[in-house]
Structure 1
Amino acid sequence: MSSSPPTASRGGRLALLVLGLCWLAVLFDGLDMFIYGSVLPHLLETKTFGLTADRAGDLGSYATFGMLVGALAAGTVADRIGRKKLMVGCVTLFSLASALCAVSGTLAVFGLGRTLAGIGLGGLLPTAISMVCDYAPRGRGALVIGTLMTAHHTGGILSAYVAKWLVEPVGWRAAFWVCVLPLLFAPVLARFLPESLSFLVAKGRTEEAHALAARYDTEPPAVQDPKQRPADRWNALLNLFRAGEWSQTLLYWLASFGGLLLVYGVATWLPTLMRGEGYALGSALSFVVVFNLGGVVGMLVAGRAADRFGAPRISALWFALTAVGVYLLSVHLPMGVTMAVVFLTGVFLNSAQTMIYATVSLRSTPGNRATAVGWTSGMGRFGAVFGPWLGGQLLASGHGDLGFTAFALAGVSSMVFIGAAALRTSRRGTADEGGAELAAAH
């Protein structure tokens, strides 16, 4: 390595390297997350493992439950072993779990594979966001986070193409074998990804952190107070319920529950529900591509709109538009119109939930912001578990046509809850502060 002084351009190139590596990791995260929904119509049609709609909903919830476990455990594990090692471990875990799905001979083994994959998926995304935040060039944090978040939906697009190209001619197992390929990427992460600045500072390796920060043209994080105790963190949680804050906190949690129910319910069941509306399998998978393209655009648009009009207003409006779009999907419209509706639904749905985190961040005190956003995300994860299960139950009971209606109602409920919460307190903080926090809990 050269001993010459680092330059801004060199620091920018290295920061792009960190972003690029994390972007690829999150791309594989999205591929593994969406692949189940992409192959699900085929699994149900061929009755693989004797799969029924209600069991399929259970399987979808296994992965989201694993994500809940992974997200909750990620912070503790990262504090012990470091964010870099955790990212490598998460990529390895969900890749091997996909191999388990690919070779599974029973529904129980397949379900175990999806649960383990969920743990890896849940731990990866918040860790990757932390990494790119640490190395983002000065004044570019929001742009870097927004760019990273597009990778998840790009993975969803890739999952649809994998299913279209492989499931019919080769079989569903081939799709899961593709999801094993990120295992080859784990050594690349281990070799080229630097350790998190926040982790180095927390471990007292301040000289190493300052050297890396200078190389990446970014500010090193402040040294944390060594007197911070677990009791202080519990006190931060209790502050969310003191002095009349309990009602606002519960409204945020309920909005997040409905938002993630909608996100993961639609992500799991969109191809199957569209197939039930009379569309061919190829067309149903094309909707997944268009939906995730909308998600990419939405992530880039929502932040700018929130900066101008306020995150609470955008969140409420986005959920209202999402509810309309999801409901319209139950109406058999001309193909071009349906594609437009799917695209716009993707634009609003995926970023509406993100705007909940922005709202919570903006309306929290600086000392309690991380706790407020983290717990809002955690409570929402229960909705992520419930959404896939709900879709399966509706299909199993012969009410699959009500699936889009049920998900639309979830959007309406989140609109009401986030709107009510926004009315209860005056705006605090700045849009820039919210932008840095909002993605960390997604």
Structure 2
Amino acid sequence: MTSSGMPGPGRPNTDRPPHTFRTVFPVLALCWLAVFFDGMDVNIYGAVMPHMLDDPGLGLSPASAGTIGGWTAFGMFFGALAAGNVTDWLGRRATLVASVVLFSLGSAVCALATGPDVFGAGRFVAGLGLGGLTPLALAMVLEFAPPGRAALTTGLLMSSYHAGGMAATGIGLGLAPAAGWRAVFWAGVLPALIAVPLLLKYLPESPGVLLARGDRTRADAVADRYGLPRPTPVQAPAAGAKGRIAAVRALFAPESRWATLLLWLASFCGLLLVYGVSTWLPEMMRSSGYGLSSSVTFLMVINGGGIVGMFVAGRAADRFGAVRISALWFALTAAGALLLKSQLPLGVTYAVVALTGVWLFSAQVMVYAVTDTVYRDSERAAGLGMVTGVGRTGAAFGPWLIGALAATGSQAWGFTAFALAGLAGAAAIALVPLARRSRGSAGATPQDGAVRVAGGPSPLD
């Protein structure tokens, strides 16, 4: 204690609350809300695409629809790259707010579009906002997560993406038939009106970012308020371009370079599946002979399965290891995709779609949980950013590939493409433990094993 009775810099505050889900609930809830709207915006396009293809005034073809889906992902790629500079300038909280504003603006542009070019520009703008949001939200919740609950926390956060996807489907089913597809995109402006005021008022800044910016007093105050250990310089992400370059170089240190490449491949496959399915599932099912309403409902069902999957995968990964669960989930996704290629009774198809949702989305999220165990605290944001950023190429490739197949009337081959992506993702993530060398001499911190449960296996076992 100092002479004033206050804890000195870097010293623990014995009066802080315990570090539990309850103490950090406001942070988790606010990040959950932001990612909810992220999922809603991403899935709106797939929910209304059949209506847009049937609108002669818009002039959208299957090929251009797939290309536009890719433009969204390209916007996300550039948004993720820009997020680092914006975070240095504004901090994580303000960057999250800016991301929400940007993808809401993109939705408004889409609602006003008179042709595919303007609509594509709106989706690109939305992608710029979406690109930085997920890695920033993940970095925030992982920093605030209780010890030993990183995978579960990640699953809880990403369940919001699928709740948003279900909301998008519900809005599409409720508004598009009567009010037209434009009304659905006007609903996509709501995040700026709902989430932004709440984020500005209640979301704290990251203690690690505050420390990196030289504000030790505020960093310690936020950590004490939420029951976190006070950040140390080695845990703080380096600010500025030089700091980010150094963090990216650290990803290719001898003990992690091959693991980095495998994580990128797994993320590529995972996001190919996530965005390929989110964009094209209704149209693929319609081309397989299902009615329009049923085809759109499949998107809601698969996102409902995704919510269940997040809770199941998070708990399972905390117990058995994120690598094992992610690899198994990728393989089961491949099996589900192949089953959907078959002509099954409607009830069976709904069941297969729901189970595929349980596996598909959480397979990708567990890649993020594995990332948290591969890199040090000071490298976590860079590692997550690169894994999600490189994965965006898969997010662009997936919708484009299915669009190209749809243009030739070969949508059914899309299910085969999804199955191959699932198998490749399973192989890549399963090899991460073999590729990662021991970090004992690399200055690993106690937080490196954050996903490990007391008495349980490491997520990399």
Instruction: Say yes or no: TM over 0.5.
Output: yes
Q: Does 1:256 align with 2:267?
A: yes
Q: Structure 2: which amino acid aligns with 1:174?
A: A
Q: Which moved more, 1:251-260 or 1:360-369?
A: 360-369
State percent identity of aligned pairs: 50
CA distance in 1, matches of 2:253, 2:31: 38
3-state SS, counterpart of residue 219 of structure 1: coil
Q: Does 1:15 align with 2:31?
A: no
Go from structure 1 to structure 2 and tell me whether the alpha carbon gap of 1:25 and 1:360 turns closer, same or farther (over 3 Å shift): closer
Q: Does 1:296 align with 2:307?
A: yes
Match of 1:433 among 438, 446, 449: 449
3-state SS, counterpart of residue 133 of structure 2: helix
Go from structure 1 to structure 2 and tell me whether the alpha carbon gap of 1:227 and 1:376 turns closer, same or farther (over 3 Å shift): closer
What's the CA shift for 1:336?
1.7
* 1:256-292 deviations in Å (ceiling 9; x for gaps): 2222111111111011111111111211122111111
User: Which residue in 2 is equivalent to 1:327?
Assistant: 338
User: Which residue in 2 is equivalent to 1:412?
Assistant: 423
User: Which residue in 1 is equivalent to 2:393?
Assistant: 382
Q: Does 1:344 align with 2:364?
A: no
Q: Does 1:217 align with 2:248?
A: no
In structure 2, list runs of 5 or more residues that go unmatched: 1-13, 453-461
- Structure ranking higher in helix proportion: 1
Query: How many residues are treated as equivalent by the alignment?
Result: 432
- Contact residue 6 and residue 215 of structure 1 kept, 8 A: no
What's the CA shift for 1:97?
1.3
What's the CA shift for 1:297?
1.4
CA distance in 2, matches of 1:347, 1:147: 14
CA distance in 2, matches of 1:291, 1:431: 34
* 1:144-182 deviations in Å (ceiling 9; x for gaps): 433221111100000000000000011000000111111
- Contact residue 359 and residue 434 of structure 1 kept, 8 A: no
What's the CA shift for 1:383?
0.8
Q: Which moved more, 1:292-301 or 1:139-148?
A: 139-148
Go from structure 1 to structure 2 and tell me whether the alpha carbon gap of 1:96 and 1:403 turns closer, same or farther (over 3 Å shift): same
- Contact residue 290 and residue 339 of structure 1 kept, 8 A: yes
* 1:363-399 deviations in Å (ceiling 9; x for gaps): 5577766655543333222111100000100000121
3-state SS, counterpart of residue 331 of structure 2: helix
Q: Which moved more, 1:134-143 or 1:410-419?
A: 134-143
- Contact residue 97 and residue 113 of structure 1 kept, 8 A: yes
CA distance in 2, matches of 1:237, 1:421: 18
Go from structure 1 to structure 2 and tell me whether the alpha carbon gap of 1:256 and 1:147 turns closer, same or farther (over 3 Å shift): closer
Give 1:358-373 correspondences, 5 Å limit: 358-363=369-374, 371-373=382-384
- Contact residue 148 and residue 451 of structure 2 kept, 8 A: no
- Contact residue 200 and residue 206 of structure 1 kept, 8 A: yes
User: Which residue in 2 is equivalent to 1:113?
Assistant: 122
CA distance in 2, matches of 1:314, 1:166: 38
CA distance in 2, matches of 1:171, 1:21: 31
Measured on the aligned residues, the alpha-carbon RMSD in Å equals 3.1
User: Which residue in 2 is equivalent to 1:206?
Assistant: 216
Q: Structure 2: which amino acid aligns with 1:298?
A: G
Q: Structure 1: which amino acid aligns with 2:324?
A: R
Match of 1:166 among 163, 167, 175: 175
CA distance in 2, matches of 1:154, 1:171: 23
In structure 1, list runs of 5 or more residues that go unmatched: 437-442
Q: Does 1:99 align with 2:108?
A: yes
Q: Return the TM-score normalized by structure 2.
A: 0.84
CA distance in 2, matches of 1:205, 1:272: 51
